Amino acid sequence: MKVPFLDIKAQYSSIKEEVNLAVLNILENTSFILGSSVKNFENEFAAAHNINYCYGLSNGTAGNHLVLWALGIKPGDEVIIPANTFIATAWGATLCGATPVFVDCTPDTYNIDPSKIEAAISSKTKAIVAVHLYGQPADLDSLKVIADKHNLFLVEDAAQAHFAEYKGKKIGGIGIASSFSFYPGKNLGAYGEAGAAATNDPQLAAKFKMIREHGASDKYYHKVYGHNYRMEGIQGAVLGVKLKYLQEWTEKRRNAAKKYFELLKDIKSIQLPIEADYSKHVYHLFVINVKAGKRDELQRFLDKNEISTGLHYPVPLHLQECFAHLDYKKGDMPCSENISENGLSLPIYPEISDNQLQYVSEIIHQYFK
Ligand SMILES: *Cc1c(COP(=O)(O)O)cnc(C)c1O
């Protein structure tokens, strides 16, 4: 049985007519950039997260950048970034000319470890970026206490966590601002590049809107430095259709995770993900920790049996070549290094069938027998 890591085609098939119509409509009225499809999506997406302002962007990386830029992060500043995340989280800081300062993750959620942040704070620190990694919210209350105490901005990178909840509240509006990605493989995926930035602060929202469009509030009158970070109309249309199904798809992801928990709980050689008591996890990824150095061998065994898996992420940020000048070394972030060496992401998506989940479990059992 084939189990792909992701099945974007299956999802498209389930909404094909509706999406095709929405895209054709954009072609007919030539609203290729921003326009009503994007505006409507922004409003619906903001409402779904109980956030006041949301702006559609060209991708999630633009969101990482725009949020810190609008907050005034500049050269000489430092920004706290988890070592265990996708590189784009750090680009937010570097594109502002600031220096990312990496902090290790916890050994159970793999999100940034609040107890390790204060040691990384200096007089230059301006912000903490909390990533809701794999679809599980970071420990936002603990982070907020630290941010408030040191007068830092708390920003959320919610690229993997649409609809996730922290203590019963949707993420994205808990920090001062947040960014989302709609990369096709994300829980809410566009059919191309797309992202968003959100905030409850009206002044910050006005800056988001200007920076997204060349620093202008009125066309050709440029108040501040900006960029072209606008979302395309076709992506707004696709996302508008897909947003209606996201709740259902999220529950399906959670059900798939529940089945994995049941099917795999007897295997002593793997540590399953945990859902923290404060969180509603949306399982963008289902990352197991494979003990005794068996990760790569298990991955090859699964691959031989037509099961595709992923590594998130094989190199923690502090050990990436592009950050060599920051002088981190192996051993600095033991938990991030552990998950980079032993983490294995199993296939998970709303369309994965019970038979496929069963099969993945059987092959993993076979490997450990
Ligand atoms: C995907 C992702 C991004 C970047 O999003 P793009 O839309 O691919 O630019 C940023 N942060 C995290 C944690 C991500 O997973």
Q: Which CATH number is correct for 8-243, 3.40.50.2000, 3.40.640.10, 3.40.50.720, 3.10.20.740?
A: 3.40.640.10
pLDDT at residue number 362? 98
Strands 286-290 vs 343-346: parallel, antiparallel or unpaired: antiparallel
Residues of the chain with pLDDT under 70: none
Contact (Cβ atoms closer than 8 angstroms) between residue 103 and residue 120: yes
Q: Where are the domains of the chain?
A: 8-243, 246-368
85 in ligand 1 pocket by Cβ < 6 Å?
yes
Atom of ligand 1 nearest to the CA of 183: 7
Q: What is the pLDDT of residues 295-349, one digit of tens each?
A: 999 999 999 999 999 999 999 999 999 999 999 999 999 999 999 999 999 999 9
pLDDT at residue number 171? 98
DSSP state, residue 169: E
Pocket test for ligand 1, best of 65, 89, 131, 282 (most atoms within 8 A of CB): 89
C-alpha–C-alpha distance, residues 193 and 107, integer Å? 32
| SS (HEC) of 330-357 | CCCCHHHHHHHHHEEEECCCCCCCHHHH
Report whether CATH 3.90.1150.10 matches the domain 246-368: yes
CA of 216 to the centre of ligand 1 (A): 26
Q: Which residue has its alpha carbon closest to ligand 1 atom 14?
A: 159
pLDDT at residue number 109? 98
pLDDT at residue number 110? 98
* Burial of 50 per CB tally in 10 Å (0-12, 13-18, 19+): exposed
89 in ligand 1 pocket by Cβ < 6 Å?
yes
CA of 280 to the centre of ligand 1 (A): 20
Give yes or no on whether 8-243 and 246-368 have one common fold: no
